[in-house]
Amino acid sequence: MAKILLIEDKNLRQDSIHLTLEQRGYEVTAVHGSETDLFQAQNEAHDLIILNLSVASADVFKICKRLRANEKTSKVPVIIMSASDQLLDKVVGLEAGADDFVVKPCNRDELIARVKARLRKHSRSESNTGSAGRICLGNLEIWPDNYTVTLAGQPVNLTVKEFDLMKMFIFHPNRVFSREYLLEQVWGCDSGEGARKVDVIVSSLRYKLQKIGNGIETVRGMGYRFRPGNHGIN
Q: Are 182 and 223 in contact (CB under 8 A)?
A: yes
Cα–Cα distance list, 10 to 31, 32, 87 (Å): 9, 6, 25
Lowest mean pLDDT among 65-69, 169-173, 220-224, 227-231: 227-231
Q: What is the pLDDT of residues 168-216, one digit of tens each?
A: 888 888 888 888 888 877 877 655 556 788 898 999 999 999 888 888 9
Q: Give the structural domain span for 109.
A: 3-125
- Please indicate, yes or no, whether residues 95 and 201 belong to a single structural domain of this protein: no
Chain centre to alpha carbon of residue 95: 23
User: What mean pLDDT comes out for the span 57-84?
Assistant: 81
Q: Are 80 and 110 in contact (CB under 8 A)?
A: no
Parallel, antiparallel or unpaired: strands 154-155 and 148-151:
antiparallel
Query: Cβ contacts of residue 64 below 8 Å, gap of 6+?
Result: 51, 78, 80, 93, 96, 97, 98
- Please indicate, yes or no, whether residues 137 and 111 belong to a single structural domain of this protein: no
CATH of the domain at 102: 3.40.50.2300
Query: Cβ contacts of residue 70 below 8 Å, gap of 6+?
Result: 42
pLDDT of amino acid 129: 46
CB neighbourhood size of 16 (10 A): 12
- Please indicate, yes or no, whether residues 25 and 119 belong to a single structural domain of this protein: yes
CA distance 30 to 51: 10
- Please indicate, yes or no, whether residues 175 and 138 belong to a single structural domain of this protein: yes
- Please indicate, yes or no, whether residues 121 and 144 belong to a single structural domain of this protein: no
Q: Are 184 and 2 in contact (CB under 8 A)?
A: no
pLDDT of amino acid 135: 80
CA torsion through residues 95, 51, 113, 166, sign: positive
Domain total of the chain: 2
Which residues on neighbouring strands pair with residue 224, listed in sequence order? Answer: 177, 218
CA distance 199 to 202: 5
